[in-house]
Amino acid sequence: MPLRLYLLRNAETEYCRTGRYCSRDGVPLTDHGKQMAEFFAKAYYQLGWQALFCSSLNHAQATLQPLVQATGLPFQCREDLRELGFGEWEGLAPEEVNARFHDDYIRWLADPAWNSPTRGEKAMQVARRSSNVLAEIENTYTDGNVLVVAHKATLRIMLCTLLGIDVGRYRDRLAMPVTALSLVELLEYGPFVRRFNDCNHLPLYLRRPWAGNGSDS
C-alpha cells in the first residue's frame, strides 16, 4: 500500500457561507458545517488511519473533531497548515476589498503567487510552509492513510505544488467546496491524483452544485 494523502477542506463557517476572506482563529462552524463534519466522520471513521494532521485554526479542528471522537485517534496540529493570511482583507467580501484596496486586489487576482493581500501572505509563502508538513509526512510514514485538514487556499496551493501547476494559478484552476476531499497517492514517480473534490460523504442538501452530484441548481 502506498502513502495516501487525504486532503480535507474545513466545513462551512459563516465566512465561507457569505463569501468573505477568513484566515483568523476562533471562527466556529455553522450548523450546516457541524453536520458536514459529522457526515465526514460517519463515512471515513473506519478507513484505518495512519495519522491525522490538522491546521491550528479552530474551524479545521472542529471539522476533524467528530472523526477524532469516533476513532479515538490523536491528531497532530500544525501552524504551517493555517489558511493563507489575508492581512487587512480579513473578514471582508471581495467587493469591499476591490473598493478599498483596488490595486492590491487587481495584482492579487492576476498573480496571487507573488502578490499578497494587503499585509497578508503570498501563495509562495504558503507553498513553502505547507511543504514542511508534506515533507514531515513523507519522512515519517512510508505507507497508510494520512488525513490533512486545512483550508481552501492552503489546500489548493498544496495541490498545485504536488501536481506541478504554477502556484499563481491556484485560484483560477481549482475549485474547492467546503468539506471536499481529495486523494493523492505518493507513488514512486510522484503524486498521483485519485480523486479531486469528492463530496460523496455529504447528503445532497449539503453539497454545492457541481460537486459531482449531477445537479445544476
Partner 1 sequence: MAQEFAESYAALPWTAAYVSPLRRAVETAQPLCDRCHLQMKLRPGLREVMYGRWEGMHPRAVDQAYHDEYVAWLTDPAWYAPVGGERAVDIARRSAQVLDEIEHTHSSGHILVVSHKATIRIMLSTLLGIDVGRYRDRLDMPVAAVSVVELAQRGPLFHTIADRSHLSDALRSLPCT
Q: Which residues bind partner 1 (CB under 8 A)?
A: 109, 163-166, 169, 171-175, 187, 189-198, 200, 210-216
**Least gap, CB of 38 to partner 1 (angstroms):** 19
Distance CA(38)–CA(168), nearest Å, equals 33
Residue 215 three-state SS: coil
**Least gap, CB of 102 to partner 1 (angstroms):** 18
**Least gap, CB of 26 to partner 1 (angstroms):** 31
Which CB sits closer to partner 1, 143 or 166? 166
**Least gap, CB of 177 to partner 1 (angstroms):** 8
HSE, side-chain direction, 13 A CA sphere, residue 116: 14
Which CB sits closer to partner 1, 6 or 75? 6
Which CB sits closer to partner 1, 124 or 175? 175
Which CB sits closer to partner 1, 31 or 216? 216
Paired with 199 in beta bridges are none
Query: What are the cell numbers at 139?
Result: 519522512
Order of strands, edge to edge, in the sheet holding 3-9? 76-78, 49-55, 144-150, 3-9, 181-187
Query: What are the cell numbers at 9?
Result: 477542506
**Least gap, CB of 168 to partner 1 (angstroms):** 10
Torsion of CA 9, 15, 17, 19, to 10 degrees: -100
Place of cell 480535507: 8
Which CB sits closer to partner 1, 72 or 189? 189
Which CB sits closer to partner 1, 128 or 208? 208
Question: Residue 139 burial (CB < 10 Å; 0-12/13-18/19+)?
Answer: exposed
HSE, side-chain direction, 13 A CA sphere, residue 49: 22
**Least gap, CB of 28 to partner 1 (angstroms):** 27
